[in-house]
């Protein structure tokens, strides 16, 4: 049984190691395209009287729509990461 588990684990690890660089490339190219859009969204929401959580949710909705318009299929976690990156960049510029 131990041998079977080792084989399955080895196959899984091999597949993961094969696809990881491809997935990184896809994610980084999506972030590169979406980051300027996210920065515009963050700048437009910064001066509103919404709470931080409300701004974050509004930004996710707007960035989701922009990604779809650009033909980018991105996970919510990738969109949130892009928004957080834009927020940090915005704070550095202020």
Q: What is the pLDDT of residues 14-34, one digit of tens each?
A: 655 665 565 565 556 778 889
Asked whether 34 and 72 are in contact (CB, 8 A), the reply is: yes
Identify the pLDDT of residue 9: 52
Domains of the chain by residue range: 2-93
* CA–CA dist 12, 73 (Å, integer): 25
Neighbours of 93 (CB within 10 A): 8
Identify the pLDDT of residue 94: 82
Q: Read off the pLDDT of each residue in 65-88 and give the average, rounded to a whole number.
A: 90
Q: Read off the pLDDT of each residue in 55-68 and give the average, rounded to a whole number.
A: 95
Q: What is the pLDDT of residues 32-53, one digit of tens each?
A: 889 999 999 999 999 999 999 9
Q: Provide the pLDDT confidence category of residue 78 given band limits of 50, 70 and 90.
A: confident
């Amino acid at each position: 049984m131990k041998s079977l588990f080792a084989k399955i684990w080895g196959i899984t690890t091999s597949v993961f190691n094969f696809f990881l660089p491809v997935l990184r490339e896809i994610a980084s190219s999506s972030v590169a395209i979406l980051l300027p859009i996210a920065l515009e969204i963050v700048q437009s929401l910064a001066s509103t009287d919404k709470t931080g959580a409300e701004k974050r949710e509004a930004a996710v909705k707007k960035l989701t729509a922009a990604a779809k318009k650009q033909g980018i299929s991105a996970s919510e976690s990738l969109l949130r990461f892009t928004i957080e990156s834009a927020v940090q960049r915005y704070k550095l510029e202020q």
